[in-house]
Amino acid sequence: MAAKNDKGNNELSLLMDQTVVGRRGIIMPASDVPVQPLPDPGLLRENLDLPEVSQPQVVRYFTQLSQLNYSIDTHFYPLGSCTMKYNPKINDVVAAIPGMSYLHPKTPEKFSQGALKVMYRLQSYLSEVTGMSATSLASMAGAQGELAGVLMIRAYHERNGDSHRKLMLIPDSAHGTNPASAAMGGFAVKAIPSDSNGNMDLGALKELVGSDLAGIMLTLPSTLGLFETDIVEICDVVHKAGGLVYGDGANMNAILGQLKLGDLGFDVVHINLHKTFSTPHGGGGPGAGPVSVAERLVPFLPLPTVVEKVDQDVAQYSLVKSDHSIGRLGAFHGNFGVLIRAYAYIRSLGADGLRQISRDAVINANYLLARLKESYDVSYDRLCMHEVVLSARRQKKNGVRGLDIAKRLLDYGFHAPTMYFPLIVDEALMVEPTESESKETLDAFIDAMLAIATESENIPETVRGAPYSTPVSRLDEAKAAREPDLRWQSR
């Protein structure tokens, strides 16, 4: 039951603590099997701490517990870089069609033509969206797509007799997974600084490229939520030095249908289907991170890919292997349920619908920027793309940090934005509104942010002590992660 604890929080009283000795929630039926002798008494306990509660108490306890979950289906979720958009329920319905959800991955091709056709079409749609020659759906997360991409770049250079190309350049605004993937792929990583406009420093890039260059990994728009205005020149500089261009396409929500990375000169791109193409995600999954590649990387695509052969007007679909493939990234054929959702999402929206997503996502972020930039610092005074990176620099002078603002937002009923990322922005608060939020919701969020900015000036200690309305108040974050207290113990 929700009750106020001594700090005034709405705490759920644990089922154990509701115990009334002798209260029962179930009536055991009469035994219809012969009574068996009890095991050795040394193996038996006299008492067992089990809650003694009624059925309605159990039902209410678990229902209330489930309502503590914060989700996109209950609230606005402005977590930057994560694209927590509304996922239309029709996609779940399609993924649950028994022919899709019960299909065994080892079903022979001739009995799984429908599923293979869906995969084939999705490959084609993603190649179209990215402007690339071919796509593999094998990888099951954005970061795994990155690994696939860098392994393809490595295989490409090795096959050309260029195994000395071991340098991967990554801007300092990159997502943390990029340098990790490059290192896992066997590359040495060097960072390229950003200039005062938030673009990659082109001069620094030119100094770093040389005969050991394998490639560059960049995110477009960058994790500053900005469009890299020199992108064509960047691709050109890297290609002239013999390197390949990797695109982290996790931010596809910003450019969907507006421009194709392939047209700009990218050689490989991964897409986070769970972000842009509508799979409920969070806390580590589920996901899919397909990779789309330009012609020269097609032979190296991860397994499997699906091909179509038309024979006397009948299309046949089959899984194929290429001799130069970097191999498999996991068992079977990728995260099929996520692929189905993406397929259904693309089919139900169509090309115009996809284009509208990026328009609305970008305008929503710019609306937040325009209304919040009086009260919060922004590092770069220019139009943003699908997300806006604010800084709590100004509030820090009053002792209020980004973390405190994020915690205070919980009291106003909003999920915290992404904090302290990207690393190059002091006290960063990264807000991604997505296309699916209404103006009313954005206004309510803005009002909360403005109220917190005022509180930070007038009553900073209140902000520093937040949150007050959640079941658990301010935690020692390091201790909570290292020594989680997950088990009820009798007192």
Ligand X SMILES: *Cc1c(COP(=O)(O)O)cnc(C)c1O
Task: Please say which residue, 141 or 385, places its beta carbon nearer to ligand X.
Answer: 141
Q: Which of residues 320-349 bind ligand X (CB under 6 A)?
A: none
Task: Please give the Cα distance from 356 to 358 (Å, whole number).
Answer: 6
Residues 343, 290 contacting (CB under 8 angstroms)? no
Binds ligand X by CB under 6 A, chosen from 175, 341, 415, 464: 175
For ligand X, the closer of residues 272 and 434 by Cβ is: 272
Residue 139 contacts ligand X per CB under 6 A:
no
CB atoms within 10 A of CB 376: 24
| 143 binds ligand X, rule: CB under 6 A | yes
38, 39, 44, 48 alpha-carbon torsion, rounded to 10°: -50
Does the footprint of ligand X cover residue 215 (CB under 6 A)?
A: no
Q: Does 182 bind ligand X (CB under 6 A)?
A: no
Written as one string, the DSSP assignment of 288-329 is ---EEE-GGGGGGPPBPEEEEEEETTEEEEEEE--TT---BS
Q: Which span sits near ligand X by CB under 6 A: 70-78, 139-147, 439-447, 453-461?
A: 139-147
Residue range at the interface with ligand X (CB under 6 A); choices 91-99, 136-144, 182-190, 452-460: 136-144
Q: Report how far apart, in Å, the C-alpha atoms of 237 and of each of 219, 293, 451 are.
A: 17, 19, 47
251 vs 254, 358, 412, CA distance in Å? 6, 10, 28
- Burial of residue 124 (number of CB atoms within 10 Å: 0-12, 13-18, 19+): middle
Q: How far is the CB of 247 from ligand X (least distance, A)?
A: 10
**In sequence order, which residues have a C-beta less than 8 Å from that of residue 33 and are 6 or more positions away?**
none
Name residue 192's beta-bridge partners. 171
CB of 363 to ligand X, least distance (A): 20
Shortest reach from residue 261's CB to ligand X, in Å: 13
Instruction: Tell me the backbone φ, ψ of residue 41, rounded to 5 degrees.
Output: -55, -25
Six-digit token string for 45: 């306990």
Of positions 257, 289, 304, 467, contacts ligand X by CB under 6 A: 289
Q: Could you tell me the smallest distance in angstroms from the CB atom of residue 124 to ligand X?
A: 22
Q: Shortest Cβ distance from residue 64 to ligand X (Å)?
A: 31
What distances in angstroms separate CA 432 from CA 74, 82, 90, 225, 384, one per listed residue?
Answer: 17, 8, 24, 9, 11
Q: Which of 95, 115, 118, 141 binds ligand X (CB under 6 A)?
A: 141
**Residue 433 makes contact with ligand X by CB under 6 A:** no
Give, as ranges, the residues between 25 and 84 that touch ligand X (CB under 6 A): 81
Of 50-58, 243-251, 326-334, 357-365, the window that binds ligand X (rule: CB under 6 A) is: 243-251
Region of 51-59, 140-148, 152-160, 336-344 interacting with ligand X (CB under 6 A):
140-148
- Helix or strand (DSSP H, E) at 337: helix 336-372
Tokens linked to 490: 């009798």
Residue 252 binds ligand X, judged by CB under 6 A:
no
Q: Give the one residue of 79, 152, 227, 248 binding ligand X; rule: CB under 6 A.
A: 248
Q: Say whether residue 222 binds ligand X (CB under 6 A).
A: no
Q: Which of 224, 250, 306, 405 binds ligand X (CB under 6 A)?
A: 250
User: Residues interacting with ligand X, by CB under 6 A?
Assistant: 81, 141-143, 175, 177, 219, 223, 248, 250-251, 272, 287, 289
